Structure 1
């Protein structure tokens, strides 16, 4: 990882922890044991140390929020001298990244993770082609226009909700999972 914003050592340690937790969440990991070489970060997350600096408080809150996504989560302090892999990776920051592109993936973080929450709270829920169908099936909400309402009622008969997801019924065989544009891009990739 490479941070493209000014940060203290402790902020950088939290950024690494948060990036690892986000990656584990995307991989649908259920139990995690994170090793941190920062005694301060490890002990703040465990609750042994109190975070006093406002930025550290925000990082701690974000870490605890992500840790709630796991059934079991533990953050352990490991001394840098005992963690040769982390030590070798930390030395990569002193070299140019151009020749590493083929062998080592380097994630660049442009903004602190604690700022994401502000952006996320301002976003509206994403509406897509499935939204009217879901609203009708779950809550019975139809458009005010009578023609559109009738069209939606007829169209909704072809769909069902299974485990919170929208599926199109098929006459012979399994139902088809409905996906939005972003998920479709992922599937195609």
Structure 2
């Protein structure tokens, strides 16, 4: 779908027309063939197996992305590597906070008293989650605390939520 939209962007004008099923019997029979396994339809439509994609996919180059620093990075470093800052007070705070976090399937989760594990997210993930919860298919443009509670109910967490 995305590739089709990219190709449509290269034309000056694109017209899409909807064809009714009555005018397009072959497509209707093919749709029925996919959803039903009627023996009468199997002989009506010639089926061809396509071994290669008809559209070339652009090769993607792998990029090494540096992990961004966040408020939970010191906690993650303490849990995974056991490293603490030189400042004793800051080290004590990190140890205290780290007791509320756990690593599961290589992701950092925050434990809650009366809720399931909350996945810790940072950066672009936070923006995407907020937009999806607020504006997405079930979004109702909630404000402040209501939006934060919806995000928590979905199982996500970040320190400044």
Q: TM-score, normalised by structure 1?
A: 0.38
Relative to its length, the structure with more helix (as a share) is 1
Task: Using CA pairs under 8 Å that are at least 6 residues apart, name the structure with larger relative contact order, 1 or 2.
Answer: 1
| Structure possessing the higher radius of gyration over alpha carbons | 2
Q: TM-score, normalised by structure 2?
A: 0.44
